[in-house]
Chain A
Amino acid sequence: DSGVTQTPKHLITATGQRVTLRCSPRSGDLSVYWYQQSLDQGLQFLIQYYNGEERAKGNILERFSAQQFPDLHSELNLSSLELGDSALYFCASSALAGEGTDTQYFGPGTRLTVL
């Protein structure tokens, strides 16, 4: 158990809908990262928040947004869902901002299925 929690574990929804994925980092960790894992694209970095502020952005679609709250938990919002958004979404956390030896620990993931 990495100490990172994600809810829900599974999510099934329809095209065009909006969903929210939630992540609680390990106790004391300041950074939260979101990743998307699909069969064809592999593991793709989406976005990072550090202590409430957006720090790095990867291949995140405009239909997706995220935020980190004062208690450091984070939410990833996915809207106007398409079939291709079906994937495993991981949250990871690290103690600091991610430099050097700062290691990311992953949550169990949320499996999103868009029908």
Chain B
Amino acid sequence: AQKITQTQPGMFVQEKEAVTLDCTYDTSDPSYGLFWYKQPSSGEMIFLIYQGSYDQQNATEGRYSLNFQKARKSANLVISASQLGDSAMYFCAMREGDRDDKIIFGKGTRLHILP
């Protein structure tokens, strides 16, 4: 079974609108971390935001916020006021447990921002 599921292979959004990228995860470990990375067409992987399983509040970093719904095992990325430069591939990832160093990535969502 897939540990990280991103159900939207591609999305088209009008500039300045808010965007929600879906991510669901599967783990039985009570301690885990969730990450979002952005990969522009240039290829580099850019860290966006982190959410720990014990964090009480949703993580936020500038225009990025993580809508963490633990009971639903959902960790959606919300981008407010989208910009043309947000066009990229977005990956959701998870690290299980406190001592597991491996990060498992989802297959990604390609976001296109339209002018």
Contacts from A to B (Cβ < 8 Å) = 2, 31, 33, 42-43, 45, 48, 50, 55-56, 58, 88, 90, 92, 97-101, 103-109, 111
Contacts and interface: CB of A to CB of B under 8 A. Distances in A.
B45 A45 contact: no
B44 A2 contact: yes
Max count, chain B CB within 10 A of own CB: residue among A55, A58, A100, A111: A100
Nearest to A9: B43
Contacts of B107: 42
Interface of B: 33, 35, 37, 42-47, 50, 52, 91, 95, 98-108
A107 B37 CA distance: 13
Nearest to A107: B44
A90 B45 contact: yes
A92 B33 CA distance: 17
Contacts of B42: 108
A103 B35 contact: yes
A103 B35 CA distance: 8
Nearest to A109: B43
A5 to B, nearest CB: 11
Nearest to A43: B105
A50 B101 CA distance: 10
Max count, chain A CB within 10 A of own CB: residue among B35, B101, B106: B101
A99 B103 CA distance: 10
Contact of B98 (A99, A105, A111): A99
A100 B99 CA distance: 8
B99 to A, nearest CB: 6
Contacts of A56: 100-102
8 contacts: A33-B103, A42-B105, A42-B106, A42-B107, A45-B103, A48-B102, A103-B47, A111-B43
A108 B39 CA distance: 10
Shortest 6 CB-CB contacts between residues of A and residues of B:
A98-B101, A106-B45, A43-B105, A108-B44, A56-B101, A45-B102
A99 B99 contact: yes
A108 B77 CA distance: 23
Contact of A97 (B44, B50, B101, B106): B101
Contacts of A98: 95, 101
